[in-house]
């Protein structure tokens, strides 16, 4: 096993940082990475963040807004012309007009939000320009799971892939691929059709593991699930091979061909992603759908913990001063947020937060987070439900009210996407450890997970549409950028 970068890589990263920082001396900026595994709500988070800042949303725990020090927030052209723009307007239209959740992240995109503000400190008002550009970088969490591959040889990758596929949570979706790969002679002559068949079978296993009923999280390589413009290319036409002996594979063999393509994948796909995006971040939020994993059972929860450990180990946490910061970028703050808190009554929000803290504890301990602030949060960037209570006999039950998505089913009733209903979502366990114990808490006994449509926005008496409702989005903003607006 090696490191993620070479000396040449580090020199390129230092040059990129110097160029960024030099421009930032005139116009201060902060690069905020937004990621998470699929279904976690990255697109919704960014849309809600921008909408609430531009429209002066209800953000009581976001100090600069609460104190009236933000004069305005607005969108500007992004600094990186080669990166697609985050389609904020399209996503907002889907939420507001169509009451549909926007399409999920499938590639890297970017948006620049500029905030004009007055510092709370008289000294800072003299020194500061009173303007901060937040460059929001949106990228799939699945791609982050590729970064550990930079430190692995093809033999390492193959061994780890087979070990993972044989775990109880992975064994069933991996069954067909394991059967096909198990009879392969790695030293046989390279065969393009065989390579395609193995890559297709391996990809089918990864996709089956990602499906809702399994809700697995650790499924590298990430581009096999979200190939983008690489679909069908040789760089994605490889797969792990069994029983490889580390060292040089016979020339012209299937193993040699697979190794060459694996190395090309690292060189042309993974390294540029790390250098151009991950190594340039100042702040990071990682969104997770913990409830989806809990619904799938303890093996899926353990797999989510494994994925979080790998993801957090890829960041460059730490603190820099003015001089070192010119050539060295470190992520000073990392927030891990469990989304969809609106699917629970507020009485369970602290329990959800405790579960997230338990999930990331091991990752934080394994990674060197010296100098970086790490926090956890249970939140809903867009709140799709409201709370109420209902009488059931002598009991008063806390419920959530919302409009389930068309096709959602509760107790045999299939919803049409128009009808509101009240649901008792259940309680999360008080002891976070119990979510790892299948026998103690079977998946279906934890919560009743129903997907809701986005809310219909309230209007004032004057007909003004209010900003998107949320749960704890203001806390997330305060942690991620509040210090830069102090």
Global pTM exceeds 0.75: yes
Please give the structure tokens belonging to residue 210.
Answer: 């990602």
Annotated domain spans of the chain: 7-139+277-382+472-485, 152-267
DSSP SS3 for 292: helix
CA angle 287, 18, 130 (to 5 degrees): 70
Tokens 């550009």, residue located: 133
In the prediction, which pLDDT does 8 show? 66
Q: How far apart are CA 20 and CA 469, in angstroms?
A: 35
10-residue mean pLDDT profile of the chain (486 residues): values are: 58 59 68 89 96 93 95 95 94 93 88 94 69 95 88 95 94 95 94 95 94 85 85 88 90 96 94 90 93 86 88 72 50 93 92 92 68 89 94 86 92 90 86 76 58 85 75 98 94
In the prediction, which pLDDT does 193 show? 95
Closest CA to 448 of 416, 423, 422, 412: 423
Strand partners, 136: 32, 111
Sheet strand arrangement including 395-402: 386-392, 395-402, 421-423
In the prediction, which pLDDT does 9 show? 64
Q: How far apart are CA 365 and CA 47, in angstroms?
A: 32
In CATH, what is the architecture of 7-139+277-382+472-485? 3-Layer(aba) Sandwich (3.40)
Q: How far apart are CA 55 and CA 92, in angstroms?
A: 13
Q: How far apart are CA 181 and CA 177, in angstroms?
A: 6
Strand partners, 399: 388
């Amino acid at each position: 096993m090696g490191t993620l970068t070479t000396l040449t890589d580090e020199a390129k990263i230092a040059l990129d940082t110097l160029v960024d920082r030099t421009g930032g001396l005139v116009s201060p900026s902060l690069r905020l990475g937004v990621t998470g595994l699929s279904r976690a709500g990255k697109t919704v988070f960014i849309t809600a963040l921008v909408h609430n800042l531009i429209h002066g949303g209800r953000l009581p725990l976001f100090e600069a807004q609460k104190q009236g020090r933000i004069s305005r927030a607005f969108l500007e052209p992004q600094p990186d012309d080669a990166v697609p723009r985050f389609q904020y307007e399209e996503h907002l239209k889907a939420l507001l007009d169509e009451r549909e959740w926007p399409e999920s992240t499938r590639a890297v995109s970017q948006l620049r939000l500029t905030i004009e503000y007055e510092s709370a400190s008289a000294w800072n008002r003299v020194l500061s320009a009173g303007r901060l550009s937040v460059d929001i970088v949106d990228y799939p969490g699945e791609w982050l799971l590729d970064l550990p591959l930079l430190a692995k040889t093809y033999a390492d990758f193959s061994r780890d892939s087979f070990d993972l596929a044989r775990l109880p949570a992975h064994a069933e979706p991996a069954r067909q691929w394991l059967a096909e790969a198990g009879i392969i002679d790695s030293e046989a002559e390279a065969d393009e059709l065989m390579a395609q068949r193995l890559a297709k079978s391996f990809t089918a296993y990864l996709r089956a593991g990602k499906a809702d009923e399994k809700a697995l999280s650790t499924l590298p390589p990430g581009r096999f699930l979200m190939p983008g413009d690489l679909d069908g290319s040789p760089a994605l036409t490889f797969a792990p091979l069994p029983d490889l002996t580390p060292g040089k594979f016979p020339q012209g063999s299937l193993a040699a061909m697979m190794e060459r393509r694996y190395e090309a994948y690292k060189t042309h796909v993974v390294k540029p992603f790390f250098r151009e995006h991950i190594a340039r971040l100042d702040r990071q939020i990682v969104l997770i759908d913990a409830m989806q994993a809990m619904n799938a059972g303890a093996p899926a929860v353990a797999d989510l913990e494994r994925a979080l450990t790998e993801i957090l180990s890829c960041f460059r946490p730490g603190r820099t001063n003015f001089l070192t910061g010119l050539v060295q970028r470190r992520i000073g703050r990392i927030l891990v947020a469990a989304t969809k808190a609106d699917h629970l009554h507020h009485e369970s929000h602290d329990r959800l937060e405790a579960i997230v803290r338990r999930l990331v504890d091991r990752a934080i301990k394994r990674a060197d987070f010296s100098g970086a602030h790490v926090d956890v949060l249970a939140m809903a960037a867009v709140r799709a439900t409201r709370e109420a209570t209902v009488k059931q006999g002598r009991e008063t039950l806390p419920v959530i009210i919302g409009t389930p998505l068309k096709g959602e089913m509760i107790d045999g009733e299939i919803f049409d996407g128009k009808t509101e209903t009240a649901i008792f979502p259940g309680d999360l366990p008080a002891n976070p450890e119990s979510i790892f114990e299948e026998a103690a808490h079977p998946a279906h006994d934890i919560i009743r997970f129903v997907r809701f449509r986005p809310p219909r926005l309230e209007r004032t008496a004057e007909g003004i549409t209010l900003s998107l409702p949320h749960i704890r989005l203001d806390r997330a903003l305060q942690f991620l950028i509040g210090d830069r607006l102090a």
